[in-house]
Amino acid sequence: MGFTRALAMAVPESRVRFFGHSEHSHEVPHIVHMVMGRGRLTVDGSVVTLEPRASVLLAPGVPHALDLDEHSIALGPFLSPRNTPVERVRRLGVVPALTDLMLARLAAQPYTHEQVTLFTDSLDDIVSALLNEAFAVPTP
């Protein structure tokens, strides 16, 4: 693989992107996006298997935990409240525009409020379009 455990642990603040995290929740809508590898998102007593480039949208206040396989990377950016889904958990699957934005965010590493806001606004636009599809069909 292209990275080792030592590299995944090099930046303490980013370890959750490589190893996952215990149960918690957020006050705003939240995306869990698999950059590469595989993971298991435990939410509402169910396990959602995440494949490469797949995303799940969580409503505010939804407790969730993430377990990642070795050599996996996940991102979890926040959205604005305007993109709160009707359902508590919405499986978005693979959305190329989300994948492109997540890779751009990873490469850019925004850290100032203005920089983060630019990426959040772009993410909000993509998710808003997905939530407003005229004939969205739920996954069976």
Q: What are phi and psi of 132, to 5 degrees?
A: -105, 15
Q: Where are the domains of the chain?
A: 5-131
| pLDDT given for residue 57 in this prediction | 96
* pLDDT, average across residues 105-128: 93
Cβ neighbors of 76 (< 8 A, separation 6 or more) are 16, 30, 31, 32, 33, 66
Q: Whole-model pTM above 0.95?
A: no
| pLDDT given for residue 65 in this prediction | 96
| Lowest-confidence segment of 6-15, 51-60, 107-116 by average pLDDT | 6-15
Question: Which is nearest to 61 in space by CA: 97, 85, 41?
Answer: 85
Instruction: Indicate the CATH number for domain 5-131.
Output: 2.60.120.280
Which alpha helices (H) appear in the chain, and where do they start and end? 5-8, 16-19, 96-108, 113-131
